[in-house]
A and B are shown apart, each in its own frame.
Chain A
Amino acid sequence: MSETPAPPPRSRLALWLPLVLFAGLFALFVHGLLRPADTNVVSAFVGNPLPAFDLPAATPARPGLATAAFRTGKPKLLNIFASWCVPCAAEAPQLDTLARAGVEIDGVAIHDRPDDLARFLATNGNPYAAIGRDDMRKVQLAIGSSGVPETFVIDGHGVIRYQHIGDIRPDDVPMLLDRLKSAGVQ
């Protein structure tokens, strides 16, 4: 049997390229699988003054909410919530802690009915100074909030300083107090 002639020498790069490509893609996919994408939509509106709004009262127990309420010189929390939202009930004790620490909390109730809201507040407590009724998410869309609950730190001039997405956990409370304090200094 005669020996076949040796094939022409191919460049080393062409030989190793597929393996290098495979290793690169493999690393990329493993990285993607181990660290799933963050699905929170962060507001791009932080740092801007609150847009003008004037919401009617969501419950007879509290007044409605207008932009003017945030120009008192004192930083406040703006809590976007709803009685039908389960994590909103979960964060109620933390809002209560914040209110007892002297923080003024104003609420915006999304797609809510007065009787549902009254029941929610009776069950979970009412830490709000005012609750505006937002049946069309006008205010929520205007500040770049994409769900409930979300909590915004507003400084004394009505400028949005910080956005907290999701329910406030007990270990978020000191962080929010810090944010409020630094919003008050500015």
Chain B
Amino acid sequence: MRAVILALLVLFAPLPLLAQENAPPAPYAYRQLPDPDQEARAKALMVTLRCVMCQSQSIADSDAPIAGDMRSEVRTRIARGEDPEAIRQWLIARYGDYVTYTPQVKPITWPLFAAPLVFLGLAGVLLRGRFVRARTAERAEDRA
């Protein structure tokens, strides 16, 4: 029984590896950093970076080979003591804003950040109008 299971394992284990590339993945593609603090920082950054191959997954989620290399690059840089935002900017300089899921404050994105304030202000004005109207109606009723 054990021999059969072993044989099956040997038979099927290399299949995903053979799917595209024969060479081994980058050192930190599928391995965490030994320091849990550094790994936590790397992970927090990786979930906000877009895989440039599969395009709708973060590099933390994606199994694409290039995502593995991007993870390894991020972890190596974090281990070297680089600032996560500096790594993000390094990638943006190469792949454009496309590579980050966290919106950057730029002239083209300012409506994104201004919209909540505009809507809040608008709601305030509308509510004030309504309260004032309700109060005058109340007073009119009292007088009647």
Contact = CB atoms under 8 A, between A and B. Distances in A.
Interface of A: 39, 41-45, 82, 84, 111-113, 116, 135-138, 140-144, 146-147
Interface residues of B, number: 24
19 contacts: A42-B96, A43-B95, A44-B92, A45-B93, A45-B94, A82-B21, A112-B22, A113-B22, A113-B23, A135-B23, A135-B26, A136-B26, A137-B66, A137-B73, A138-B73, A141-B91, A144-B93, A146-B53, A147-B66
Contacts of B99: 41
A112 B95 CA distance: 24
B94 A44 contact: yes
Contacts of A116: 22
A136 B72 CA distance: 8
A72 B89 CA distance: 30
Residue from B65, B94, B98 having most chain A Cβ neighbours under 10 A: B94
Contacts of A84: 20-22
The 5 closest A-B CB pairs, nearest first, are A144-B94, A146-B52, A137-B69, A136-B26, A111-B23
B102 interface: no
Given A82-B21, A140-B69, 5 more contacts: A112-B22, A112-B23, A136-B27, A140-B66, A141-B70
Residue from B65, B69, B99 having most chain A Cβ neighbours under 10 A: B69
Contact of A43 (B53, B70, B73, B94): B94
Where chain A touches its partner, the secondary structure class is loop
B104 interface: no
Contacts of A137: 26, 66, 69-70, 73
B65 A111 contact: yes
A82 B21 CA distance: 9
Contacts of B70: 137, 141
A77 B27 CA distance: 29
A55 to B, nearest CB: 14
Contacts of A142: 94
A158 B65 CA distance: 28
Nearest to B18: A84
B38 to A, nearest CB: 19
B82 to A, nearest CB: 14
Residue from A42, A113, A136 having most chain B Cβ neighbours under 10 A: A136
Given A135-B26, A147-B66, A44 B93 contact: yes
Contacts of A135: 23-24, 26
A150 to B, nearest CB: 11
Nearest to B70: A141
Nearest to A115: B22
A141 B93 contact: no
Residue from A43, A116, A146, A147 having most chain B Cβ neighbours under 10 A: A146
B46 to A, nearest CB: 14
Contact of B21 (A111, A141, A143, A147): A111
Contacts of B73: 136-138, 141
Interface in B1-60: 20-24, 26-27, 52-53, 55
